[in-house]
């Protein structure tokens, strides 16, 4: 099951400069595990030590922000597109 994942500039050092990579998984959590197997270190930038999605990144499946679709439990199907962006915020 191939899912296209768009990688933000800040994380492209993990993907050899590629802005889009492919990975497999039936949920966002398993996709991130597969991404980390192919691009070691990536998971640590997306998921916190206690296993939730980092608040410094926004992750979208197709056009949906995964915060509203079950976060790491969001289901994925063949042909979905996952986009990762840095959250832009401050005080």
The answer to the question of residue 71 lying near other proteins (CB under 8 A) is no
Backbone angles phi, psi at 53, to 5 degrees: -65, 135
Backbone angles phi, psi at 22, to 5 degrees: -115, 145
46 Rama class: left (phi>0) / alpha (psi -120 to 50) / beta: alpha
Which structure tokens are listed for 60?
A: 């979208």
- Give CA–CA dist 11/47, Å, rounded: 13
Closest approach, Cβ 77 to other proteins, in A, equals 20
Q: Which of residues 41-70 bind other proteins (CB under 8 A)?
A: 56, 58, 60, 63, 65, 67
Closest approach, Cβ 20 to other proteins, in A, equals 10
The answer to the question of residue 86 lying near other proteins (CB under 8 A) is yes
Only one of the segments 3-11, 21-29, 34-42, 72-80 lies at the binding site for other proteins (rule: CB under 8 A); that segment is 3-11
Interface residues with other proteins (CB under 8 A)?
Answer: 6, 8-10, 19, 56, 58, 60, 63, 65, 67, 83, 85-91
């Amino acid at each position: 099951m191939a899912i296209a994942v768009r990688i933000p500039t800040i994380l492209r050092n993990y993907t050899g400069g590629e802005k889009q990579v492919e990975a497999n998984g039936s949920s966002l959590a398993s996709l991130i595990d597969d991404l980390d197997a192919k691009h070691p270190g990536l998971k640590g930038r997306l998921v916190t030590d206690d296993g939730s999605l980092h608040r410094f990144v926004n992750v979208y499946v197709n056009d949906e922000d995964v915060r509203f679709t079950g976060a790491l439990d969001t289901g994925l199907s063949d042909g979905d597109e996952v986009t990762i962006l840095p959250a832009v915020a401050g005080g």
